A and B are shown apart, each in its own frame.
Chain A
Amino acid sequence: MEEVNALLQGFGVALSPLNLLLMFVGVILGIIIGVLPGLGGANGVAILLPLTFSMAQQPGGTTSAIILLSCIYWGALFGGAITSILFNIPGEPWSVATTFDGHPLAQLGRAGSALTAAFTSSFFGALVAVIMITFLSPVVAGFALRFGPPEFFSVYLLTFCAFVGMSGGNAAKTIASMMIGFALAAVGLDSVTGTLRLTFGSTSLLKGFDFLIAVIGLFGIGEILETLEEGLAFKGASARINFKVVLETWKELPRYWATSLRSAAVGCFMGIVPGGATPASFMSYGLARRLSKDGNDFGSGKVEGVVAPETAAHAAGTSALLPMITLGVPGSPTAAVLLGGLLIWGLQPGPLLFVEKPDFVWGLIASMYLGNIAGLIVVLTCVPLFAAILRIPFSIIAPVIIVICAIGAYTVHNSMFDVYLMVAFGVLGYAFKKLGYPLAPMVLALVLGDRAEENFRNAIKGSQGDLTVFFSNGLVGGLTSFALLLLFWPLIRAGWRVVLGKS
């Protein structure tokens, strides 16, 4: 029950008037970000991160700052559903599966029910994930206190191998994207030897590539270019939710308890293992269609078809923070940006955070409960306002978003070079998206590159260059083996099928 006490203290931190205000501000900003094309959880948080630099220097300020940023993340998760259901445009990749049944429901005139179902199941998914974080994270952190460099490197290896094995896309493209991230992370001054790497005499490259710039460019500018191609007009269903519809939908929802629980479990698992929210939402939609009584009618506007992906996406998005705070390994690009924030504020994410900064950790966890409640209230009451944002003509909203991205890129280091880089990353992001290169591994590699390399170096320094150090005891050996298993999972599965097919 130690966790409950710690959590109650966390609520004490999170319930201060300033933090409550920041929570609502964050959620509202997050929903706007989630609704707008070109702005999403990852680059929205990246753009607003520099604004928290001064906030984080005040006493207790880091907690307020993380509450603001994480609430933007929750808001963005909620906001993605609005555009999917009303406009058939997924505002975020994890809302794609929500369009399958959500938009048909809106066309049937049941937009209110679809939105209520989406928000409520998002909230449920998040709640399950937060409860899991509350009780599991101290255990994981305690376990990770015993980690040395080889163990940490094998955890990173596990993260990256999971991307290759679980993504289901083109493995070569995943590896290429990830390794480009590692190479870009290596640019600049090598902190161990003091050597300049990959700078080729350019002074602008001395500091290396900041992942925040990459996130803003890849996800922001890249997405604007992609949206542009698809056409400029948004035509949407009207968004009115009245209290009666909410109550009616809530009465209907308990029928789908099995789908909810299953989707929450899928989401929690996929969030911790960095599969991410997007595959989780597709997977639980597929499972629900196969297991539901009226699975054949999925796609024609079934509330259950909205419940499944939304629960899983929100559970995955939330549980992605578990490895971020306990191990310093983010489970999603947005979690990676939050991790970058912690580093900039001078906090070292990882198991020691629970020992050294309990106020911060438990304040954050408590704010996850409160932030999601705030989010649910805001979305249920203000949907028409947010939907109206999408009715602003593209020719106004697009340049404004690009200006916001440029400001965000500039303020990270007050450098114009970063703004030029952002445009370059935007073009790269557009080409990569169209060719099916995943962007998340690149961002994660950019964030974790230096730390992964440092742990790798320290590990093999200790073993005098002997790579068997990654199998030297049960713990690190198990992690490494699991990583390799995930890496070769598609091959193993294909081989298994061949064996089964022959017998």
Chain B
Amino acid sequence: MEKGEQGSAASVKAVEIGVAVVIFLFGALVVFDSYRVGAKWGDDGPQAGYFPLYVGLLICFASATIFVRAFRNSALAAESFVSRDELKKILTVLVPTVVYVSLIAYLGFYVASTLYIAYFMWHLGKYAWIKIAPVSIGVSVAFFLIFEIWFSVPLPKGPLEAALGLN
């Protein structure tokens, strides 16, 4: 449990219970929707919700079991799911990734990817710009050649490609 000493951001017990609740709610949603579309025997056989109803019920049942087990197991409370340090590391990747995928719609795949790789190398790798620029631009140009030209699979493009006449 060295992780716990560094300051735990969340215990296994808390996350286990939280995830079980979310899964239970999802299962309840499936059950609810199955009743909405009809989970009985129709004129021409089972209705659309017949099969999903059981799926939803099983989800609820399984998550309830996980919930009860986690609730009773007090040892899990001392165990760290993720330390503050680890959580910080994960967020430094996850947040830029979310920003990256939302930028694709505005800047196009290639420009957004270049910025994303550059950010990673700058923030995590602490590289100098003299190294960052050729690697990040080079990778994107390589992807452009592979996908647009070799496989002719078009990816979303943005203002830069439009300005260069590459659409």
A460 to B62, CA, bound (A): 25
Q: Cβ of B98: which chain A residues have Cβ within 8 Å of it?
A: 423
Q: Cβ of A422: which chain B residues have Cβ within 8 Å of it?
A: 101
Chain B, residues 13-39, CB within 8 Å of chain A (1/0): the string is 001100100010011011001100110
A262 to B102, CA, bound (A): 51
Please determine whether B30 and A403 come into contact, CB atoms closer than 8 angstroms. no
Please determine whether B63 and A176 come into contact, CB atoms closer than 8 angstroms. yes
Residues of B114-133 whose CB lies within 8 A of A? 116-117, 119-121, 124-125, 127
The residue in chain A whose Cβ has the minimal distance to the Cβ of B122 is A395
Q: Cβ of A461: which chain B residues have Cβ within 8 Å of it?
A: 44-46
Q: Cβ of B58: which chain A residues have Cβ within 8 Å of it?
A: 175, 179
A461 to B44, CA, bound (A): 8
A352 at interface, CB cutoff 8 A: no
Are A396 and B156 CB-contacts (below 8 A) given A179-B59, A183-B26? no
Interface of A is mostly: helix
The residue in chain A whose Cβ has the minimal distance to the Cβ of B40 is A465
Q: Cβ of A232: which chain B residues have Cβ within 8 Å of it?
A: 124
B78 at interface, CB cutoff 8 A: no
Q: Cβ of A420: which chain B residues have Cβ within 8 Å of it?
A: 101-102
Q: How far is the CB of B54 from chain A (nearest CB, A)?
A: 9
A457 to B143, CA, bound (A): 45
The residue in chain A whose Cβ has the minimal distance to the Cβ of B102 is A420
Q: Cβ of B55: which chain A residues have Cβ within 8 Å of it?
A: 179, 182-183, 186
Residues of B84-138 whose CB lies within 8 A of A? 86, 89-90, 93-94, 97-98, 100-102, 104-105, 109, 113, 116-117, 119-121, 124-125, 127, 135
Q: Cβ of B145: which chain A residues have Cβ within 8 Å of it?
A: none
A50 to B146, CA, bound (A): 14
A192 to B46, CA, bound (A): 10
Are A228 and B89 CB-contacts (below 8 A) given A399-B116, A399-B117, A457-B51? yes
Using a Cβ–Cβ cut-off of 8 Å, how many residues does chain B contribute to the interface with A? 68
Q: How far is the CB of A225 from chain B (nearest CB, A)?
A: 6
A419 to B147, CA, bound (A): 17
Q: How far is the CB of A168 from chain B (nearest CB, A)?
A: 17
Q: How far is the CB of B50 from chain A (nearest CB, A)?
A: 7
Please determine whether A186 and B89 come into contact, CB atoms closer than 8 angstroms. no
A200 to B124, CA, bound (A): 40
Residues of A116-146 whose CB lies within 8 A of B? none
Q: How far is the CB of B84 from chain A (nearest CB, A)?
A: 12
Residues of A372-404 whose CB lies within 8 A of B? 393-396, 398-400, 402-403
Please determine whether B46 and A225 come into contact, CB atoms closer than 8 angstroms. no
A414 to B105, CA, bound (A): 12
Residues of B43-66 whose CB lies within 8 A of A? 44-52, 55-56, 58-59, 61-63, 65-66
A267 to B15, CA, bound (A): 35
Q: Cβ of B135: which chain A residues have Cβ within 8 Å of it?
A: 396
B82 at interface, CB cutoff 8 A: yes
Please determine whether B93 and A407 come into contact, CB atoms closer than 8 angstroms. no
Q: Cβ of B113: which chain A residues have Cβ within 8 Å of it?
A: 403, 406
A374 to B38, CA, bound (A): 54
Please determine whether B62 and A457 come into contact, CB atoms closer than 8 angstroms. no
Please determine whether A403 and B139 come into contact, CB atoms closer than 8 angstroms. yes
Q: How far is the CB of A434 from chain B (nearest CB, A)?
A: 7
Q: Cβ of B34: which chain A residues have Cβ within 8 Å of it?
A: 197
The residue in chain B whose Cβ has the minimal distance to the Cβ of A176 is B62
The residue in chain B whose Cβ has the minimal distance to the Cβ of A404 is B143
Are A406 and B90 CB-contacts (below 8 A) given A395-B120, A399-B117? no
Residues of A398-455 whose CB lies within 8 A of B? 398-400, 402-403, 406-407, 410-411, 414, 416, 419-420, 422-423, 426-427, 430-432, 434-435, 453
Best-surrounded residue of A180, A423, A456, A457 (most CB of chain B within 10 A): A180
Chain B, residues 138-165, CB within 8 Å of chain A (1/0): the string is 0100010001000111111000000000
Q: Cβ of A465: which chain B residues have Cβ within 8 Å of it?
A: 41, 46
A55 to B149, CA, bound (A): 15
Of B44, B59, B97, which contacts A423 at CB under 8 A? B97
Q: How far is the CB of B64 from chain A (nearest CB, A)?
A: 9
Please determine whether B124 and A395 come into contact, CB atoms closer than 8 angstroms. yes
The residue in chain A whose Cβ has the minimal distance to the Cβ of B86 is A229
Please determine whether B46 and A172 come into contact, CB atoms closer than 8 angstroms. no
Are A460 and B37 CB-contacts (below 8 A) given A228-B90, A410-B109? no
26 example contacts (A-B, Cβ-Cβ < 8 A) are as follows A50-B153, A51-B153, A172-B63, A175-B62, A180-B23, A183-B26, A195-B47, A197-B37, A228-B89, A229-B86, A229-B89, A394-B124, A395-B127, A399-B116, A400-B139, A406-B101, A407-B109, A407-B143, A407-B155, A410-B155, A411-B155, A416-B156, A423-B98, A435-B16, A457-B45, A460-B46
Other than the given A172-B66, A400-B117, 18 more pairs (CB < 8 A) read A54-B152, A170-B66, A179-B62, A183-B30, A186-B55, A195-B47, A195-B48, A197-B33, A198-B30, A229-B82, A229-B90, A395-B121, A399-B121, A402-B100, A406-B113, A410-B156, A435-B12, A457-B51
Which residues of chain B have a CB within 8 Å of any CB of chain A?
12, 15-16, 19, 23, 26-27, 29-30, 33-34, 37-38, 41-42, 44-52, 55-56, 58-59, 61-63, 65-66, 69, 81-82, 86, 89-90, 93-94, 97-98, 100-102, 104-105, 109, 113, 116-117, 119-121, 124-125, 127, 135, 139, 143, 147, 151-156
Question: Considering the complex of A and B, which 7 residue pairs feature the smallest CB-CB distances, nearest first?
Answer: A395-B125, A176-B62, A195-B48, A461-B45, A399-B120, A395-B124, A172-B65
